[in-house]
Amino acid sequence: MVKQNKIALITGATAGIGEACAHTFAQNGYNLILTGRRQERLNALKVNLQEKYNVEVCTLCFDIRHKEQVIENLNSLAAEWQKVNVLINNAGLSQGLEPIQDGDFSDWDTMIDTNLKGLLYVSKIISNWMILNKKGHIVNLGSIAAKEVYANGNVYCATKHAVDALSKAMRIDLLPHGIKVTAIHPGAVETEFSVVRFHGDEEKAAKVYEGFEPLVAQDIAETIWFVVSRPKHVNINDLLIMPASQAAINYHIKEK
């Protein structure tokens, strides 16, 4: 039985920004539905959050790229868990950093299927639940890569530009149903993002953040909490948040 707390569903809660959001929302009394592919991490996070914040946590382990898994897992939730107030479409990744002519088909499929199609599958199901409840707030993780492009970032940037477009479109379609839609666009955040991009090469990943101070996942979690906790009549449509040392996607001030 779910306590009377509000419910947030966070995709990709096993690391980085999603995990930080889980802590921030639990701290603020939300019950949580957390998703990801790594079961052990979901289990550990559930125990930790329940003990620390006395909230209820439900975990769903599935691959967001697979439509059938998304449908089956979300529909397995009991009716009281389907009253989702906040959906954070966070699961996402980049794979590879190559000029277009050298791009890897499998990397491209992974990014398009995760960042775009996965977000769509989850959004369709949850927005229908929100429509029944006549309220809700959907937060989509875009990126500075949704606004600008950079050398070799081609397909990742394209998926995030698409998330930007979808966020605008969802805002229009869901407005009559009282559902808010916000897109959050971070610059460089040090998470597992670059390790994933470089297929596990931690040394190469660390170099991305060398010489400047990147954002941390908690910066984004606090920003999302701010957005979601505005009064009923306010919506923040679109928010770009950058490290103070990063003025544009490819322009960082390196520390001397």
Active-site annotation, residues: 156
Asked if 96 touches ligand NDP (CB under 6 A), the answer is no
Among 25-33, 47-55, 58-66, 171-179, the segment contacting ligand NDP (CB under 6 A): 58-66
| Interface pick for ligand NDP out of 8, 55, 60, 64 (rule CB under 6 A) | 64
Among 13-21, 74-82, 121-129, 170-178, the segment contacting ligand NDP (CB under 6 A): 13-21
241 touches 219 (CB < 8 A) = yes
Asked if 197 touches ligand NDP (CB under 6 A), the answer is no
Asked if 196 touches ligand NDP (CB under 6 A), the answer is yes
| Interface pick for ligand NDP out of 189, 221, 227, 228 (rule CB under 6 A) | 189
Minimal distance in Å, beta carbon 168 to ligand 8X3? 18
Give the pairing of strands 251-252 and 246-248: antiparallel
34 touches 73 (CB < 8 A) = no
Minimal distance in Å, beta carbon 231 to ligand NDP? 26
Q: Is the dihedral of CA 192, 196, 201, 206 positive or negative?
A: negative
Minimal distance in Å, beta carbon 162 to ligand NDP? 12
Among 46-54, 130-138, 170-178, 181-189, the segment contacting ligand NDP (CB under 6 A): 181-189
- From the list 22, 33, 122, 120, the residue with the least C-alpha distance to 72 is 122
B/e letters for 219-246, b = 16+ CB within 10 Å, e = fewer, are ebbebbbebbeeeeeebeebbebbbebb
Nearer Cβ to ligand NDP (137/185): 185
Nearer Cβ to ligand 8X3 (77/227): 227
180 touches 138 (CB < 8 A) = yes
Among ligand NDP, ligand 8X3, none, residue 192 binds (CB under 5-8 Å by kind): ligand NDP
For the record, the structure tokens of 24 come out as: 């921030």
d(CA 235, CA 256): 40
Alpha carbon of 142 to those of 57, 71, 83, 197, 238: distances in Å? Answer: 26, 23, 25, 16, 9
- From the list 195, 253, 243, the residue with the least C-alpha distance to 217 is 243
Asked if 249 touches ligand 8X3 (CB under 6 A), the answer is yes
The residue ranges that bind ligand NDP (CB under 6 A) are 12-18, 36-38, 63-65, 90-93, 114, 141, 143, 186, 188-189, 191-193, 196, 217
The residue ranges that bind ligand 8X3 (CB under 6 A) are 143-145, 153, 188, 249
